[in-house]
Structures are given as structure tokens and as C-alpha cells.
A and B are shown apart, each in its own frame.
Chain A
Amino acid sequence: QQQVKQSPQSLIVQKGGIPIINCAYENTAFDYFPWYQQFPGKGPALLIAIRPDVSEKKEGRFTISFNKSAKQFSLHIMDSQPGDSATYFCAANRNAGKSTFGDGTTLTVKP
């Protein structure tokens, strides 16, 4: 049973564009929702995270939008750069225990 569904599987944008990656979860007990960035051959790195009582959070060029009633959240990357080309994972966590990850979105930002 996949508890976190992520879309799209891949995404191509031009430099300066705003890619949007979406995730939906099922378990309402989740209480923390981080996003991770992974480059080939590297481990995932934390980008930004949000709690379900907050509707939006911005850190630099990265913004999370959270819709608790719809059980959905999304990552927006403002002014995307070729260096942002990577695989992005959403995750959901409960009580600092296991994190459940989406299947990832491969983002390509063209110069």
C-alpha cells in the first residue's frame, strides 16, 4: 500500500520556469512533511519541510503549499536553474518515526 503518491514522474522546464511537484497522502496521523533533493550517486538532502497546521512555507526559492483537507502538498521552485536538475522526493513522517517517501520526480531544467 503506497501511502504517499507523487506526481509527475518526470518534469522538464526552461531556466527561470516554476516547476511544481505534487504529493498526496492517505494517513492523517502524519505530522511532518519534508522534501528532499537527490543528485545521482548521492544521498537525499533535506530541502524544506512543513507541518500540517501551516498552509505555506517559503525558504529561498523553494515553497511548500499544504492543503490539509485535501491531504495534498506541493513543492514549487521559483526561478529554476540548471543546477536544480535532480530527483525530488516528498515524504511524510509521524512522531519522528519512519518516513514514507513518494516515488520521486526527476526534474530537468534546460538552459
Chain B
Amino acid sequence: DAGVTQSPTHLIKTRGQQVTLRCSPKSGHDTVSWYQQALGQGPQFIFQYYEEEERQRGNFPDRFSGHQFPNYSSELNVNALLLGDSALYLCASNPRTSGRAGELFFGEGSRLTVL
């Protein structure tokens, strides 16, 4: 049973560039969320996708956008990169209609460095 997979694992970009991160959820999960984790801090919620629509959004600017595909996989796009966007980006999935839907299964993350 494959868990949550993310790609790429590491990437380096320069200020002003754009980046796309990809995520495949755990088998049987239909909801995907993205989190940003700065060094030494807890994950911060970016947004959640369910049925190919953005359902909830955290306090992140419009430079952060996403998409969910019919197979439940998801992308996170960040435009006009800033130095402060350097972080570990985590994808998490959960089965929305399960009694344990509040439990997240995380991927290993994509480490983004902006120079």
C-alpha cells in the first residue's frame, strides 16, 4: 500500500522564479492538503483540495495556487518566489468521509531553497 509520494524531494530556485510541486495521495484517500514547514516550526496550512476544488485556504498569498486532478493527485504552484518561501513543503492526504478523517498522512516533503 503506497503512502503519500511527493516530487521533487529537493530543489533550488532563484527569486522571482516559479515552482511546481507534485503529490500523490495514499491509496483510498480523496482529500489532499498542503502545508509549509519552516525550520524549527510546526506545519502551516496552505490549502486543502477535495473533489478537484479548493475547499479551505490558510493565510497565504495568491502566489500560492494549487490543483487536484481526477485521480486525486495534486500540484502546488508558487509564483514570484521570495527568499522567505524557502521551506519544506508537505503534502498530506486523508479520507474525508472516514470517522478518522482528521488524521493526516504526510509525504516526505519537498525541500525548496530560494536563492
A interface with B by C-beta (< 8 Å) = 6, 31-32, 34, 36, 41-46, 49, 89, 91, 93, 96-104
Contacts and interface: CB of A to CB of B under 8 A. Distances in A.
A34 B103 contact: yes
Contacts of B31: 96
B42 A102 contact: yes
Contacts of A36: 104, 106
Chain B interface mostly: loop
Chain A interface mostly: strand
Interface residues of B, number: 27
B103 A97 contact: no
B102 A99 contact: yes
B55 A46 contact: no
B56 A97 contact: yes
B51 to A, nearest CB: 13
B106 A43 contact: yes
Contacts of A98: 33, 45, 48, 56, 58
A105 to B, nearest CB: 10
A31 B103 CA distance: 11
Give the one of B33, B58, B104, B107 with max A CB within 10 A: B104
B106 A44 contact: yes
